[in-house]
Structure 1
Amino acid sequence: MDVEILSRIQFAFTISFHYIYPPLSIGLGLCMVAMEGLFLRTGNKMYEDMTRFFTKIFALIFGLGVATGIVMEFEFGTNWATYSKYVGDVFGSALAAEGIFAFALEAGFLGVLVFGWDRVKPATHFFATIMVFLGSMFSAIWIVVANSWQQTPRGYRVVGDGLEARAEITDFWAMVFNPSSIERVSHVWVGSFLAGSFLVLSISAYYIRKNKHLQFSTAAFRIALVIATVSALSQLFIGHKSAEVVAEHQPAKLAAFEGHFDSLAVADMYLVGWIDKKEEKTIGLSIPKGLTFLTHQDFTTPIKGLKGFPVADRPGALNIVFQSYHIMITIGMVLIGLTLYACFLWYKGLLFQKKWLMTVFQFSVLLPQLANQAGWFAAETGRQPWVVYGLLRTSNALSKSVTANQVLFSLILFTLVYLLLFILFIYLLNKKILHGPYKADVVHRPQQESMADQF
């Protein structure tokens, strides 16, 4: 493999591993705000214990997120020097804003959140919890804004020629509010809420299955289920708006999402399928004219297909784009169905009597993660062959002095280190879950009642 492919694989691997943690911290932060808010409102000590327990898990996730995110910034300079020169003014502004307005806020109050129990007033601690949550939200804003500018660049001018060319900001707010930033930030936020709430659902379901900490776990399950249900339903509409932006500003990506090849024709919406790139056709189960209807709200307006673009301007890995997009959509629909069914059982008073459902929720923590990863893969591979859409090709963004062997060697090392980090993360997370929310000598909490006592 050449240096471009290896560099892309390396960056995709490092960012995919890093992206396990920020969504979890954002979503778990929202759950913690809800839990501690209930404590202040009701005075029920259980909600304080709940927040304390999940704060320990949050701190673990936050630490891994910071450690794995640093590597990517070095990759910009080592593997993608031309890209760094080209977008440095734009990307640097967004990263600086993230550090000043987001990370400083999150990290500044993290100490109070983790170590402030019994040292500050409950209201002050709750304020710190909110600030940490907002800091993680703001951090997502600036990172996604920088990435969205690469998808739909606005508020810039190009100065210099050839290898000396670079994008220079002319309108900061036009850069921030580029055509795709609002929808993509919202999409990422809600995906993060799903990731964090399903982590709480998974841990709570495990305790319920084991008949442990029942009052604690059933209450935490209900809180997370409300957040997960609202988020899953919201994602359906936010995702649709994001797709409309893609249709308007990145039509080649939309065509790749649905394997639409005809130069200009009404387009089907595929439920499942496979792209035959050689024959330039898609085989699978589709809804006739479905994509046309979702895009234009009619069945007659044609959509530009892949054949309407030069071969050099089409996404290369069409099946990766197609399958990633459909995996994201499929998981999103599964999450909607799962959460609505759980809410129905809650309404009927049967929710915690379905042990098989608790088993499903215990392992469902993987679903939002898979959907988030698939969504990023679809967005980034669908943008190809551009690293900055319409301005800078990926093949021209590489460092000129890096060899394929160097990238391969560093990729192997990153893989080993990240594998060790992931094993450590799973070990520590599992240890905290097995330990539970209470110390072994604490017996005054009403946590040992049977399942029957919950109804």
Structure 2
Amino acid sequence: MPSVEILSRIQFAFTVAFHYIYPPLSIGLGVCLVIMESLYLKTGLPVYKDITRFWIKIFALIFGIGVATGIVMEFEFGTNWATYSHYVGDIFGSALAAEGIFAFAMESAFLGVLLFGWNKVGKGVHFFATIMVALGSIFSALWIVIANSWQQTPAGFVIEGHDLAARAVVTDFWEMVNNPSSWDRFSHVVIGSFLSGAFLVISVGAFYIVKNRFVSHAKAMFKIGLGVATIAALAQLFTGHRSAEYVSKYQPAKLAAMEGHYDSLAVADMYIMGWVNNKEEKTTGLKIPGGLSFLTHGSFSAPVQGLRATPPQDRPGAVNFVFQTYHFMVAIGITLIGLTLLAVFLLWRKKLFNTKWLMWIFVFSVMLPQIANQLGWYAAEVGRQPWVVYGLLRTSDALSKKVTADEVVFSLVLFTFVYLLLFTLFIFLLTRKIAHGPDVTAVQSDNSDNNNDDDSFYTSNVPA
């Protein structure tokens, strides 16, 4: 049987990965809701009200499942990672308290107005609630990312005590908040979330278009999702580069693992694809000579620190895993840029909604941002190993001292069963809501603009 450490890492990775399906969707969908409702207020066209109400219902479903799946992780800190909890309790306690007060409470309170406030509060008040829910989801991500970023680049603290009694204590709250990786990682995470929510909107819109249902509504939601996705996909190039810069400065072993770079200090290539043999310390594949040197230092001949500069016991163990997850994430990011730019070009040429093969691609493209988010998290967290708090606390030392392998296996099996039920319920309810479609509140010819890009519907209909 695997060790308690491996089993506990698998259990936490599984619960976090499952939970991480939902917050990015709610963050991205919140932005889309703000745009949809603002267009309704600006134009008065019922199509925007219809799609706003439709997506609010889906947002509520995602929010509910996200809350349910996130609670488990807090208990795992105590059951499986008691030493870690003691060590970082002062840090995590501050960040999670801020998240609960300034983000989750605000999001939950205004969600009630968002869901039940139609025709009960003014349009302006309801729109304000929509903005607050969207901001609440973003602020929630901010504090969680700050807490995790502190583990990557600790700052604003002192260590009190020794050995198992040691704990990190905040000395400067704002230095802790503004640790070297917080804002780069936050921007990367949030923009990835924008992509998740936007591609969900795009996917449903494309599905209605190919099925010739709710065509006017589908085109409206598709265009909104495409606008958000295009900007976010291009912005992700910048935030990804910024994230790589902080990794090169503060976690050089992680960057070396991401590119399979072993030489202690030498010009580093950038691999488009490849394979890492960690035993032989060799990487093969398709590469751009000096590419990593250029990206990190602006010169193709600049030396980059490799894995041999780090003692073997302090290097990431699963180098090929980090390499592959990182490169697949980048490949998906480039694919998303290509898809969105192609769609924008075809929309400009008024051919987008006639291109059925592309519509079908967009139906299934909803999975791409989700996969990229998961892969990015895997690369970041596995690349940090063997440290749970970088350079300070090893993962092997962070475990609870009393938990057994059998107990972890039992809880892992139980969590898997419960989460599969939750996921099945989520897919069932989501599918049913999509099959029902938006409630049309205006008399209109739904298929009058079936398969063309004519925008006459949006200009010729008077406000309801």
In the superposition, the TM-score normalised over structure 2's length comes to: 0.97
Aligned counterpart, 1:71: 72
Aligned counterpart, 1:444: 443
Task: Give me the whole-angstrom Cα distance separating, in 1, the residues matched to 2:113 and 2:260.
Answer: 50
Unmatched runs of 5 consecutive residues or more in structure 1: none
Letter in 2 for 1:49: D
> 3-state SS of the aligned residue for 2:337?
helix
Cα distance change of structure 1 residues 454 and 303 upon mapping to structure 2, 3 Å threshold: closer
Unmatched runs of 5 consecutive residues or more in structure 2: 455-464
Task: Give me the whole-angstrom Cα distance separating, in 2, the residues matched to 1:224 and 1:443.
Answer: 23
Deviations 1:379-405 (A, max 9, x none): 000000000000000000000000011
| C-alpha displacement of 1:452 | 4.4
| Paired residues for 1:76-91 under 5 Å | 76-91=77-92
Task: Give me the whole-angstrom Cα distance separating, in 2, the residues matched to 1:54 and 1:451.
Answer: 22
Aligned counterpart, 2:384: 383
Alpha carbons 2:98, 2:143 under 8 Å: kept = yes
| C-alpha displacement of 1:448 | 3.1
| C-alpha displacement of 1:317 | 1.0
> 3-state SS of the aligned residue for 2:391?
coil
| C-alpha displacement of 1:454 | 4.6
| C-alpha displacement of 1:443 | 7.2
Letter in 1 for 2:163: G
RMSD: 0.9
Aligned counterpart, 2:182: 181
Alpha carbons 1:46, 1:216 under 8 Å: kept = yes
Alpha carbons 1:352, 1:358 under 8 Å: kept = yes
Task: Give me the whole-angstrom Cα distance separating, in 1, the residues matched to 2:378 and 2:184.
Answer: 17
Aligned counterpart, 1:109: 110
Deviations 1:9-55 (A, max 9, x none): 00000000000000000000000000000000111111011100000
Task: Give me the whole-angstrom Cα distance separating, in 1, the residues matched to 2:160 and 2:448.
Answer: 70
In the alignment, structure 1 residue 423 sits paired with structure 2 residue 400: no
In the alignment, structure 1 residue 251 sits paired with structure 2 residue 252: yes
Aligned counterpart, 1:292: 293
> 3-state SS of the aligned residue for 1:449?
coil
**Which region of structure 1 is more displaced relative to structure 2, 442-451 or 412-421?**
442-451
Aligned counterpart, 2:133: 132
| Paired residues for 1:2-81 under 5 Å | 2-81=3-82
> 3-state SS of the aligned residue for 1:286?
strand
Task: Give me the whole-angstrom Cα distance separating, in 2, the residues matched to 1:379 and 1:13.
Answer: 15
Alpha carbons 1:215, 1:454 under 8 Å: kept = no
| C-alpha displacement of 1:219 | 1.0
Alpha carbons 1:211, 1:450 under 8 Å: kept = no
> 3-state SS of the aligned residue for 1:227?
helix
Task: Give me the whole-angstrom Cα distance separating, in 1, the residues matched to 2:160 and 2:439.
Answer: 61
Aligned counterpart, 1:192: 193
Alpha carbons 2:328, 2:372 under 8 Å: kept = yes
Alpha carbons 1:261, 1:307 under 8 Å: kept = yes
Alpha carbons 2:350, 2:453 under 8 Å: kept = no
Alpha carbons 1:83, 1:397 under 8 Å: kept = yes
| C-alpha displacement of 1:299 | 1.6
Cα distance change of structure 1 residues 249 and 452 upon mapping to structure 2, 3 Å threshold: closer
Cα distance change of structure 1 residues 453 and 225 upon mapping to structure 2, 3 Å threshold: closer
Task: Give me the whole-angstrom Cα distance separating, in 2, the residues matched to 1:404 and 1:306.
Answer: 32
In the alignment, structure 1 residue 146 sits paired with structure 2 residue 147: yes
Task: Give me the whole-angstrom Cα distance separating, in 2, the residues matched to 1:400 and 1:269.
Answer: 42
| Paired residues for 1:311-390 under 5 Å | 311-390=312-391
| C-alpha displacement of 1:449 | 2.2
Cα distance change of structure 1 residues 297 and 12 upon mapping to structure 2, 3 Å threshold: same
Cα distance change of structure 1 residues 266 and 57 upon mapping to structure 2, 3 Å threshold: same
Task: Give me the whole-angstrom Cα distance separating, in 2, the residues matched to 1:97 and 1:53.
Answer: 31
Cα distance change of structure 1 residues 342 and 454 upon mapping to structure 2, 3 Å threshold: closer
Alpha carbons 2:216, 2:449 under 8 Å: kept = no
Deviations 1:163-220 (A, max 9, x none): 0000000000000000000000000110000000000000000000001111100011
In the superposition, the TM-score normalised over structure 1's length comes to: 0.98
Cα distance change of structure 1 residues 418 and 452 upon mapping to structure 2, 3 Å threshold: closer
- Over the matched positions of the two proteins, sequence identity in percent amounts to 66
Task: Give me the whole-angstrom Cα distance separating, in 1, the residues matched to 2:451 and 2:235.
Answer: 34
Letter in 1 for 2:327: H
Task: Give me the whole-angstrom Cα distance separating, in 2, the residues matched to 1:446 and 1:192.
Answer: 35
> 3-state SS of the aligned residue for 1:265?
strand
Alpha carbons 1:272, 1:284 under 8 Å: kept = yes
In the alignment, structure 1 residue 239 sits paired with structure 2 residue 240: yes
Task: Give me the whole-angstrom Cα distance separating, in 2, the residues matched to 1:207 and 1:449.
Answer: 14
Letter in 2 for 1:181: S
Letter in 2 for 1:113: L
| C-alpha displacement of 1:445 | 3.8
Deviations 1:40-90 (A, max 9, x none): 011111101110000000000000000000000000000000000000000
Deviations 1:381-433 (A, max 9, x none): 00000000000000000000000110011001101110111011001000000
Alpha carbons 2:354, 2:452 under 8 Å: kept = no
Task: Give me the whole-angstrom Cα distance separating, in 2, the residues matched to 1:404 and 1:453.
Answer: 60
Task: Give me the whole-angstrom Cα distance separating, in 2, the residues matched to 1:366 and 1:139.
Answer: 23
Deviations 1:214-264 (A, max 9, x none): 110001111110100000000001100010000000000000000000111
> 3-state SS of the aligned residue for 1:451?
coil
| C-alpha displacement of 1:453 | 6.0
Alpha carbons 2:46, 2:442 under 8 Å: kept = no
Task: Give me the whole-angstrom Cα distance separating, in 1, the residues matched to 2:453 and 2:219.
Answer: 8
Task: Give me the whole-angstrom Cα distance separating, in 1, the residues matched to 2:453 and 2:370.
Answer: 31
Alpha carbons 1:50, 1:437 under 8 Å: kept = yes
